[in-house]
Amino acid sequence: MHGDKPHLSRPHALELLKQMIRIRRFEDKCAELYTQEKIRGFLHLYDGEEAVAVGVIPVLTASDRIVATYREHGHALVRGVSMKAALAEMYGKREGCSGGRGGSMHLFDRSTNFYGGNAIVGGGLPLAVGLALADHMCGEPNVTVCFFGEGAVAEGEFHESLNLSALWGLPVLFICENNLYAMGTALALSESETDIHLKAASYRIASEAVDGMDVVAVEAAARRAVHTVRETGKPYFLECRTYRFRAHSMFDAQLYRDKAEVEAWRKRGPIVRFQGWLEQNAIIHPQDLERIEADVAAEIADAIAFAEAATWEPIEDLTRFVHAERAN
């Protein structure tokens, strides 16, 4: 499926739908486990934004690199980070992908070139530029993809990263997941220019905006973008206009937006929209959905059993990686 043209065969359509449902069901279960205090700390869910990760990440090669935000469960799962290792990390167990030390916001897996999970708003942008610079200097043909929300646009790292990537000609694909609210602040209240991709254009970076609720549109745009970056070695900027159905985090009362607005967006959600189109065109059948749901439920059950049985780090190891012992 690499290249710059999408091909929506029945198997591919089913895979796109399955990956979005997989993310949604997994995070629904995570929310439930959070209320049971199995998962602690912060938890930021991707509900409503699944089409972005599912549309972009499968277009990449195994050697390409990914840098994500604190709302990264979906990115990690689509990239190939095992659901068992991801959930064990949220539990804080040693078998987690970050050794149980990072939690929900710091999923990391070197084997899949998944470089986090970064809790600082905009913090992943300079990391992505650094990874791309390393590839550029070493002559490696990789693309580094950096996911971030529109709230990061207000940070200095955003402008510094775009400027340096353009000046140095670095192979970075910037993916802005514009869900309209930076925590509780509406986009129009924080940015005088709300067409985010125009900010990239001001740095002479090729940019475009795409409907982030349409997985096919996202995939097509991602193919164009990745192909351009790989061919030119220069950065590209893709603004995916999406929406999160859940609160910013589990602690958010959502007093800044109307319930009617959320429900209106739910009606055009990526799963409902794509599944409805597939059904109308007889591309999928009820037994396909039954099989997808059963497979996902089984994977989630296995992940929970793994996380429950995983081990806590011994108390004597708690200072590991915190400080270095002074040599005698």
222-265 confidence digits (pLDDT tens): 999 999 999 999 999 999 999 998 878 877 778 788 889 889 98
Average pLDDT over residues 186-211: 92
Token code pair at residue 69: 């935000």
Mean pLDDT, the chain, whole residue set:
93
Asked if residues 52 and 217 have their Cβ atoms less than 8 Å apart, the reply is: no
Average pLDDT over residues 29-37: 96
The full set of domain ranges for the chain reads: 10-310
Query: What is the secondary structure of 265-295 as a DSSP string?
Result: HHTT-HHHHHHHHHHHTTSS-HHHHHHHHHH
Structure confidence by residue, pLDDT tens digits, 5-31 = 456 899 999 999 999 999 999 999 999
326 pLDDT above the threshold of 80: no
4 pLDDT above the threshold of 50: no
2 pLDDT above the threshold of 50: no
How many other CB atoms are found less than 10 A from the CB of residue 68? 29
CATH for 10-310 is: 3.40.50.970
Residue 202 CA to residue 59 CA, distance in Å, equals 27
Residue 165 CA to residue 159 CA, distance in Å, equals 10
Tell me what pLDDT residue 89 has.
97
Picking from 214, 195, 220, the residue whose alpha carbon sits closest to that of residue 50 is 214
